[in-house]
Amino acid sequence: DSDYVPGNISGIKDRNEKPIVLGFAQVGTESGWRIAHTNSVMSAAQNAGIQLLYENAEQSQERQVEIIREFIRKKVDVIAFSPKTETGWDEVLQEAKEAGIPVILSDREVKAADDTLWTSYIGSDFRDEGRRAASWLLGEAEPDRSYNIIELQGTPDSAPAIGRKRGFDEGIAGDERFRLIASYEGDFTRGKGKELMERALRTYGGDIHVVYAHNDDMALGAIQAIENYGLKPGKDIILISVDATKAALKAISIGKLNLAVECSPLLGPQLMKAVKDLLGGQELPMKIITSEGMFTQSLAKKVLASRDY
Ligand code: GZL
Ligand code: ZN
């Protein structure tokens, strides 16, 4: 009859009932991209029936380490995090390894002595993003003119800031039309982008021809500074950024930003699949790279309405 419950066959029933517990240590809430990344992880965990323990380190590496230690104490099944910087993780990753808890890197990579300290990296090729920004600029620029470039870097020692700088430098190297006249350390926030651009305008004024910002939020801050200074962003000064969030596509569609190289924050579904595959006994690839495009005005206008982040 209906209340007959089959015997507990070798714990399978328990296994099915006990959801996977994933600890996620997010780096912060610094940008539109980051909010979209967090939302993607949360909704994908929900859809996958994975119990998500979510903590936000608010841009503090020591806080991120503490959060990971908390997850180890709680004996979660898997730990995932977006490391603020590339270095400084060996000790806590060693502790996770000794506790037998696998670690998956979401969005940003780490540099560690021993690369068995994490199981897989899901994110972007930041160097490629920098190269794509440069190759667009080379194609867009006039053949016999010279261009002074200002670079607004992302968080120091973060994988995206290192990769985007390196790829862009490689992309413009050898083309004598371009001179990088200043490169400032930023932190991916709109406020910092505005502040750094104000400093650049005080120092170089109208001699600035191009701004390369490592993310949209800093580019949007730079746009405010350029307008306050009395110049037209996107016309008097070419602006290039990375992420391609909705706010950037809006700025592109009205001609204040010239290019946004896409960096997808929708990493949640791939992370949950990796977690399930891993706990299902599958080997994970060391890197799962997301594919990305880039947006100039005509494409931005076309996709704007359909973008949900
Ligand atoms: C890139 C991500 C960067 C974004 C910024 O994958 O780590 O951090 O480009 C975010 O917007 O702050
Ligand atoms: Zn990317």
Count of beta carbons in the 10 Å neighbourhood of residue 15? 10
Find out whether the beta carbon of 241 lies less than 6 Å from any atom of ligand 1.
no
**126 Cα–ligand 2 center, Å:** 6
pLDDT higher than 80, residue 10? no
33 Cα–ligand 1 center, Å: 6
Give the tens place of pLDDT for each residue, 170-229. Answer: 999 999 999 999 999 999 999 999 999 999 999 999 999 999 999 999 999 999 999 999
Mutation probe of ligand 1 site: the residue of 122, 158, 188, 241 with most atoms within 8 A of C-beta: 188
Query: Cβ(188) to ligand 1 under 6 A?
Result: yes
Which strand ranges, in their side-by-side order, compose the sheet holding 210-213?
Answer: 178-185, 147-153, 210-213, 238-243, 259-262, 294-295
Q: What is the ipTM of this complex?
A: 0.93
CA dihedral 177→182→187→190, nearest 10 degrees, is -80
* Top mutation candidate among 27, 243, 264 for ligand 1, by most atoms within 8 Å of CB: 243
Give the Å distance between the CA of 124 and the centre of ligand 1.
10
- Extended beta strands in 40-128, E state: 51-56, 78-81, 103-107, 120-123
C-alpha to C-alpha distance for 303 and 252, rounded to whole angstroms: 11
Cβ atoms of 57 and 25 within 8 Å: the answer is: yes
- Assess contact for 85 and 155: CB atoms under 8 A: yes
- Dist. CA 152–CA 95, nearest whole Å: 36
**Spatial contact of 212 and 166, defined as CB atoms under 8 Å apart:** no
pLDDT digits (tens, 9 = 90+) for 169-183: 999 999 999 999 999
Q: How far apart are CA 7 and CA 46, in angstroms?
A: 29
**Ligand 1 contact, 209 CB (< 6 A):** no
Sorting pLDDT into bands at 50, 70 and 90, what band is 8? very low
What mean pLDDT is reported for the chain?
94
